[in-house]
Amino acid sequence: MTRVLVTGTSTGLGLGALSDLRKHGAQVVAHVRRSEQLDAVGRALGEQVPGVVGDLADRAQVREVAEQVAALGGVDAVIHNAGTMDERLVLSVNVVAPYLMTALVPARRHVYLSSSMHRGARLNTTRLAGMDWTGTRPTASYSDSKLLVTALAAAVGRLHPGTWANAVDPGWVPTRMGGTGAPDDLDAGHHTQAWLALGEDPRTHTSAYWHHLRTQQPDRRVNDSEFQDQLLAALGRATGTPLD
């Protein structure tokens, strides 16, 4: 039976992905920032599920989350759903945490939360050198962070044959970040995440950029191997953890 870790499950896409996965017979591990949120997740699902706890803005806690996952017996797939629009934290939560979780949690399938806003990023290989990966000061926009995590997904897929690494643009959906007036389909967003994590459909046996169960072409920088390599090198230096 497939076992999937989903980060950021207290509301929205993450909670929806948990529900989808359980309906398809998968075992799930819910991640939340605070332990009391696990009870709320259980009430929303109608049943308590295994969980791990930690603030993904804090690298030490990211490592603790990875240790908690290992103590539960590991997983087959990770949906890196947690995210923020706080410009001080966008690099640490949206990029560094998924990078570290990829390095520290062995899994055959990784699904990363992207956004169509990644196309508006103003980054290039030169600007990567000026990033503050610690979350101490804002040096990147939300769009920048989504370009970087989408490039991370592409790099993992390129460098790790046999590992499916996909990035999902869920659309502008009515979540806590997107706002209640967001016009896109929330269900289609988390259905795509869960579908890719399960890996049962042959169409999911790839590494690509997705929107509502369909592949799309991301910004050209995403598939630039030099950009990917410099990103991985910068993250490896910043965290002291290379992505082997």
- pLDDT at residue 60 in the model: 98
CA distance 93 to 146: 11
Domain borders along the chain are: 3-239
The string of DSSP codes covering 102-136 is HHHS--SEEEEE--GGGGG----TTGGGG--TTSS
- pLDDT at residue 29 in the model: 98
- pLDDT at residue 125 in the model: 76
- pLDDT at residue 180 in the model: 60
Q: Which pTM was predicted? A: 0.95
Mean pLDDT in order along the chain per 10 residues (244 residues): 96 95 97 96 95 98 98 98 95 98 98 96 85 93 97 97 95 62 71 97 97 96 96 96 92
The architecture of the domain spanning 3-239 is 3-Layer(aba) Sandwich (3.40)
Number of H helices, E strands in the chain: 8, 8
Kind plus residue range of the DSSP H or E element containing 3:
strand 3-6
- pLDDT at residue 188 in the model: 83
- pLDDT at residue 129 in the model: 84
- pLDDT at residue 171 in the model: 80
